[in-house]
C-alpha cells in the first residue's frame, strides 16, 4: 500500500493506525478518496492529501498543509492552521487561534476569544468572531467580518469589504 490511500478503516484499530501513518508520511490519496479524521485530545497534522476532509478535534492543535479538496474543520481550545489549501475551507474553532494562508477557494471562519489571521485568500472570506482580533490581508473576493470588542485590521481586499464591530477600533485599506 506504499504511496496509496488505504480505504477508510472505520473503527478497526490496526487499519486505522496504518491509515494515520500513511497520512503522516504525506502519501497522496487518489482522486475521489475521502480522507476523514476524527481525533479527540491530541495534535493532528495532515499534509499532502486531496479529497473531502472532515476533521474534528477537541483539545489538540490542528495543522493542515499542502492539501486540496473541500475542508471542514471543527476544533476547540487549541490552534487551527491551514496553509496552501486548494479549495474551499470552513473552520469552526470555539476557543483557539485560527491562521489561514494561501487558500485558493472561499474561506469561512467562526471563532471566539482568540485571534483570527489570514493572508492570500483566493476567493470570498467570511469571519464571524466574538471577542477576537481579526487581522489579515490579500483577499481576492468579497470580505465580510463580524466581531465584537476587538480590533479588525484587514488590507488588500479586491472585492467588497463589509465589517461590523461592536466596540474598539477597526481599520482597513483596499
The number of folded domains in the chain is 1
Model pTM?
A: 0.74
> 147-161 pLDDT, tens per residue?
887 888 999 999 998
CA dihedral 107, 111, 116, 120 (to 10 degrees): 0
Q: Is residue 112, in this structure, part of any structural domain at all?
A: yes
In percent, how much of the chain has pLDDT > 90?
54
> 75-119 pLDDT, tens per residue?
988 999 999 999 999 999 988 999 999 999 999 999 988 999 999
Q: Is residue 145, in this structure, part of any structural domain at all?
A: yes
Q: Is residue 70, in this structure, part of any structural domain at all?
A: yes
Would you call 125 exposed, middle or buried from its count of C-beta atoms within 10 A (0-12, 13-18, 19+)? buried
Q: Is the pLDDT of residue 33 over 80?
A: no
Picking from 57, 84, 54, 92, the residue whose alpha carbon sits closest to that of residue 70 is 54
Q: Is residue 14, in this structure, part of any structural domain at all?
A: no
Q: Is residue 8, in this structure, part of any structural domain at all?
A: no
Instruction: Report the pLDDT value the prediction gives residue 170, as an integer from 0 to 100.
Output: 53
Q: Is residue 141, in this structure, part of any structural domain at all?
A: yes
67-to-18, 119, 141, 160 alpha-carbon distances in Å: 19, 17, 21, 28
Q: Is residue 17, in this structure, part of any structural domain at all?
A: no
Domain that holds residue 130: 36-173
Q: Is residue 22, in this structure, part of any structural domain at all?
A: no
Amino acid at each position: 500500500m506504499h504511496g496509496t490511500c488505504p480505504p477508510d478503516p472505520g473503527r478497526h484499530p490496526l487499519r486505522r493506525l496504518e491509515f494515520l501513518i500513511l497520512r503522516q508520511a504525506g502519501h497522496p490519496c487518489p482522486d475521489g478518496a475521502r480522507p476523514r479524521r476524527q481525533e479527540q485530545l491530541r495534535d493532528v497534522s495532515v499534509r499532502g492529501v486531496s479529497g473531502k476532509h472532515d476533521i474534528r478535534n477537541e483539545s489538540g492543535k490542528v495543522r493542515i498543509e499542502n492539501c486540496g479538496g473541500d475542508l471542514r474543520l471543527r476544533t476547540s481550545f487549541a490552534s487551527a492552521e491551514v496553509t496552501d489549501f486548494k479549495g474551499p475551507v470552513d473552520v469552526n474553532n470555539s476557543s483557539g487561534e485560527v491562521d489561514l494562508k494561501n487558500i485558493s477557494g472561499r474561506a469561512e471562519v467562526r471563532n471566539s476569544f482568540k485571534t483570527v489571521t489570514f493572508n492570500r485568500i483566493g476567493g470570498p472570506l467570511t469571519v464571524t468572531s466574538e471577542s477576537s482580533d481579526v487581522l489579515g490581508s490579500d483577499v481576492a473576493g468579497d470580505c465580510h467580518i463580524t466581531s465584537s470588542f476587538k480590533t479588525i485590521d484587514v488590507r488588500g481586499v479586491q472585492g467588497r469589504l463589509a465589517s461590523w464591530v461592536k466596540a474598539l477600533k477597526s481599520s482597513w485599506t483596499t
